[in-house]
Amino acid sequence: MLSFQGENILSVNELDREAIELIFNVAKKMEPYAKKYKRTNVLEGAVLANLFFEPSTRTRVSFGTAFNLLGGTVRETTGMQSSALAKGESLYDTARVISAYADAVAMRHPDAGSVAEFATGSDVPVINGGDGPNEHPTQALLDLLTIERELGRFERGIDGMHIALVGDLKYGRTVHSLSKLLCHYKNVRFSMVAPDGLQMPDYILDAVSNAGHRIELVSKMEGNLAADIVYQTRIQEERFPSQEEANKYRGGFRISQAIYDAHCKPESVLMHPLPRDSRGDANELDNDLNNNDNLAIFRQVQNGVLIRMALFALTLGVADKVEQYEVDVPWFSRKREA
Amino acid sequence: MLSFQGENILSVNELDREAIELIFNVAKKMEPYAKKYKRTNVLEGAVLANLFFEPSTRTRVSFGTAFNLLGGTVRETTGMQSSALAKGESLYDTARVISAYADAVAMRHPDAGSVAEFATGSDVPVINGGDGPNEHPTQALLDLLTIERELGRFERGIDGMHIALVGDLKYGRTVHSLSKLLCHYKNVRFSMVAPDGLQMPDYILDAVSNAGHRIELVSKMEGNLAADIVYQTRIQEERFPSQEEANKYRGGFRISQAIYDAHCKPESVLMHPLPRDSRGDANELDNDLNNNDNLAIFRQVQNGVLIRMALFALTLGVADKVEQYEVDVPWFSRKREA
Amino acid sequence: MLSFQGENILSVNELDREAIELIFNVAKKMEPYAKKYKRTNVLEGAVLANLFFEPSTRTRVSFGTAFNLLGGTVRETTGMQSSALAKGESLYDTARVISAYADAVAMRHPDAGSVAEFATGSDVPVINGGDGPNEHPTQALLDLLTIERELGRFERGIDGMHIALVGDLKYGRTVHSLSKLLCHYKNVRFSMVAPDGLQMPDYILDAVSNAGHRIELVSKMEGNLAADIVYQTRIQEERFPSQEEANKYRGGFRISQAIYDAHCKPESVLMHPLPRDSRGDANELDNDLNNNDNLAIFRQVQNGVLIRMALFALTLGVADKVEQYEVDVPWFSRKREA
> pLDDT tens-digit profile of C158-195?
999 999 999 999 988 899 999 999 999 999 999 999 99
Average pLDDT over residues A107-121: 97
Provide, rounded to the nearest whole percent, the portion of chain B with pLDDT above 70: 97
Q: Tell me the C-alpha distance between C216 and C224, whole Å.
A: 9
Name the least confident of A27-31, A56-60, C40-44. A56-60
A173 vs chain B: nearest CA distance in angstroms?
Answer: 17
Query: Which residues in A lie closer than 8 A to residue B87 (C-beta atoms)?
Result: 234, 237, 275, 277
**Residue among B83, B87, B97 whose CB faces A277 most closely:** B87
* Omega of the bond leading into A241 within 30 degrees of 0 (cis): no
Closest CA to A312 of A61, A8, A82: A8
B330 vs chain A: nearest CA distance in angstroms?
Answer: 18
Selected residue of A73, A295, A332, A336 to mutate for chain B interface (largest B Cβ count, 10 A) = A332
Cβ proximity of B310 and B23 under 8 Å: yes
| pLDDT value at C79 more than 90 | no
Model confidence at C275, pLDDT cuts 50, 70, 90, reads confident
> pLDDT tens-digit profile of B13-68?
999 999 999 999 999 999 999 999 999 999 999 999 999 998 788 899 999 999 99
Strands (E) across chain B are located at 39-40, 47-52, 73-78, 104-109, 126-131, 162-166, 189-193, 214-218, 229-232, 269-271, 326-327
Taking any CB pair shorter than 8 Å as contact, residues of chain C touching chain A are 36, 39, 41, 55-58, 61-62, 64-65, 68-69, 71, 73-74, 78-79, 234, 237, 274-279, 282, 287, 290, 298, 301-302, 305, 327, 329-335, 338
Q: Tell me the C-alpha distance between B80 and B86, whole Å.
A: 7
Confidence at residue A338, expressed as pLDDT on a 0 to 100 scale = 64
| pLDDT value at B177 more than 60 | yes
Closest CA to A176 of A203, A157, A149: A203
Cβ proximity of B310 and B69 under 8 Å: no
Q: How many CB atoms lie within 10 A of CB C245?
A: 11
| Residue B235 per-residue DSSP state | P
Q: Tell me the C-alpha distance between A147 and C35, whole Å.
A: 41
Which residues, other chains included, contact C34 with Cβ-Cβ below 8 Å and sequence gap of 6+? C69, C302, C305, C306, C309, C335
Confidence at residue A97, expressed as pLDDT on a 0 to 100 scale = 93
Average pLDDT over residues A216-229: 95
Cβ proximity of B163 and B215 under 8 Å: no
Host H or E run for residue A216:
strand A214-218
Bigger pLDDT: C275 vs C321: C321
Closest CA to A10 of A76, A92, A107, A124: A107
Confidence at residue C247, expressed as pLDDT on a 0 to 100 scale = 77
Mean of per-residue pLDDT scores for chain B: 93
Bigger pLDDT: B194 vs B279: B194
Confidence at residue A335, expressed as pLDDT on a 0 to 100 scale = 87
Confidence at residue B55, expressed as pLDDT on a 0 to 100 scale = 77
Model confidence at B338, pLDDT cuts 50, 70, 90, reads low
Q: Tell me the C-alpha distance between A320 and A326, whole Å.
A: 12
Cβ proximity of A10 and A119 under 8 Å: yes
Closest CA to A273 of A227, A232, A230: A232
A213 vs chain B: nearest CA distance in angstroms?
Answer: 33
Confidence at residue C55, expressed as pLDDT on a 0 to 100 scale = 77
Q: Which amino acid is at B61?
A: V
Residue B317, CA distances (Å) to B48, B146, C8, C175, C333 in order: 15, 24, 39, 55, 38
A215 vs chain B: nearest CA distance in angstroms?
Answer: 31
Judge: B75–A65 Cβ closer than 8 Å, yes or no.
yes
Residue B15, CA distances (Å) to A57, B106, B146 in order: 33, 18, 17
Confidence at residue C245, expressed as pLDDT on a 0 to 100 scale = 79
| Residue C326 per-residue DSSP state | E
Selected residue of B332, B333, B335 to mutate for chain C interface (largest C Cβ count, 10 A) = B332
Q: Tell me the C-alpha distance between B130 and B238, whole Å.
A: 14
Which residues, other chains included, contact C280 with Cβ-Cβ below 8 Å and sequence gap of 6+? none
Average pLDDT over residues B286-310: 96
Judge: C58–A316 Cβ closer than 8 Å, yes or no.
no
Query: Which residues in B lie closer than 8 A to residue C321 (C-beta atoms)?
Result: 330
Bigger pLDDT: B234 vs C10: C10
Judge: B332–C316 Cβ closer than 8 Å, yes or no.
yes
Q: Which amino acid is at A328?
A: D
DSSP line for A242-263: -HHHHHTTTTTT-B-HHHHHHH
The Cα diameter of chain B in Å comes to 57
* Omega of the bond leading into A275 within 30 degrees of 0 (cis): yes
Interface size A-B, in CB pairs within 8 Å, comes to: 103
Judge: A332–B6 Cβ closer than 8 Å, yes or no.
yes
Name the least confident of A306-315, B55-64, B316-325. B55-64
Model confidence at C336, pLDDT cuts 50, 70, 90, reads confident
**Residue among A282, A331, A338 whose CB faces B43 most closely:** A331
**What domains does chain B contain, in order, with CATH numbers?**
10-132+303-325 (3.40.50.1370), 136-296 (3.40.50.1370)
Judge: A334–B6 Cβ closer than 8 Å, yes or no.
yes
Edge to edge, the sheet with strand A162-166 lists A214-218, A189-193, A162-166, A229-232, A269-271
Per DSSP bridges, beta strands B326-327 and B39-40 are: antiparallel
Provide, rounded to the nearest whole percent, the portion of chain A with pLDDT above 90: 80
Host H or E run for residue B17:
helix B17-29
Confidence at residue A298, expressed as pLDDT on a 0 to 100 scale = 96
Helix/strand/coil percentages in chain C, nearest 5: 40, 15, 45
Cα nearest neighbour of B326 on chain C: C45
On the CB side of A3, CA atoms within 13 Å amount to 9
Which chains border B (3 or more CB–CB pairs < 8 Å)? Answer: A, C
Judge: A278–B103 Cβ closer than 8 Å, yes or no.
no
Confidence at residue B280, expressed as pLDDT on a 0 to 100 scale = 74
Long-range contacts of C108-116 (CB under 8 A, 24+ apart): C108/C51, C108/C52, C108/C53, C108/C54, C108/C56, C108/C59, C108/C60, C109/C51, C109/C53, C109/C54, C110/C53, C110/C54, C114/C53, C115/C10, C116/C10, C116/C11
Question: H-type helices in chain A, by residue range?
Answer: 17-29, 31-34, 57-68, 91-99, 114-119, 137-153, 173-182, 202-210, 243-247, 257-263, 297-315
The Cα diameter of chain A in Å comes to 57
Q: Tell me the C-alpha distance between C248 and C253, whole Å.
A: 12
Confidence at residue C7, expressed as pLDDT on a 0 to 100 scale = 98
Q: How many CB atoms lie within 10 A of CB B327?
A: 14
Judge: B298–C89 Cβ closer than 8 Å, yes or no.
no
Query: Which residues in C lie closer than 8 A to residue B234 (C-beta atoms)?
Result: 87
Confidence at residue A326, expressed as pLDDT on a 0 to 100 scale = 97
Confidence at residue C82, expressed as pLDDT on a 0 to 100 scale = 56
> pLDDT tens-digit profile of A46-81?
999 999 998 788 899 999 999 999 999 999 998 876
Confidence at residue B246, expressed as pLDDT on a 0 to 100 scale = 77
ipTM for the whole complex:
0.93
Mean of per-residue pLDDT scores for chain C: 93
> pLDDT tens-digit profile of B130-171?
999 899 999 999 999 999 999 999 999 999 999 999 999 998
Phi, psi values for residue B165, rounded to 5°: -100, 125
B336 vs chain C: nearest CA distance in angstroms?
Answer: 11
| pLDDT value at A281 more than 80 | no
Which residues, other chains included, contact C72 with Cβ-Cβ below 8 Å and sequence gap of 6+? C43, C44, C45, C46, C47, C48, C103, C312
Residue B126 forms beta bridges with which residues?
A: B105
A328 vs chain B: nearest CA distance in angstroms?
Answer: 10
Helix/strand/coil percentages in chain A, nearest 5: 40, 15, 45
Query: Which residues in B lie closer than 8 A to residue A337 (C-beta atoms)?
Result: none
| pLDDT value at A248 more than 90 | no
Cα nearest neighbour of C41 on chain B: B330
Which residues, other chains included, contact C241 with Cβ-Cβ below 8 Å and sequence gap of 6+? none
Provide, rounded to the nearest whole percent, the portion of chain C with pLDDT above 90: 80
Confidence at residue C81, expressed as pLDDT on a 0 to 100 scale = 61
| pLDDT value at B10 more than 60 | yes
Query: Which residues in A lie closer than 8 A to residue B75 (C-beta atoms)?
Result: 61, 64-65, 68, 74
- Dihedral in degrees, nearest 10, Cα atoms A98, A100, A104, A109: 10
A203 vs chain C: nearest CA distance in angstroms?
Answer: 34
Taking any CB pair shorter than 8 Å as contact, residues of chain A touching chain C are 5-6, 42-47, 49, 73, 75, 77, 81-84, 86-90, 92-94, 96-98, 100-103, 123-124, 315-318, 321, 324-325
* Omega of the bond leading into B275 within 30 degrees of 0 (cis): yes
| Residue B325 per-residue DSSP state | G
| pLDDT value at A40 more than 60 | yes
Residue B331, CA distances (Å) to A283, A318, C310, C312 in order: 54, 31, 14, 10
> pLDDT tens-digit profile of A124-164?
999 999 999 899 999 999 999 999 999 999 999 999 999 99
Judge: A101–C65 Cβ closer than 8 Å, yes or no.
yes
Edge to edge, the sheet with strand A47-52 lists A73-78, A47-52, A104-109, A126-131
Question: H-type helices in chain C, by residue range?
Answer: 17-29, 31-34, 57-68, 91-99, 114-119, 137-153, 173-182, 202-210, 243-247, 257-263, 297-315
| pLDDT value at C84 more than 60 | no
Cβ proximity of C174 and C200 under 8 Å: no
Name the least confident of B73-82, B204-213, B301-310, C74-83. C74-83
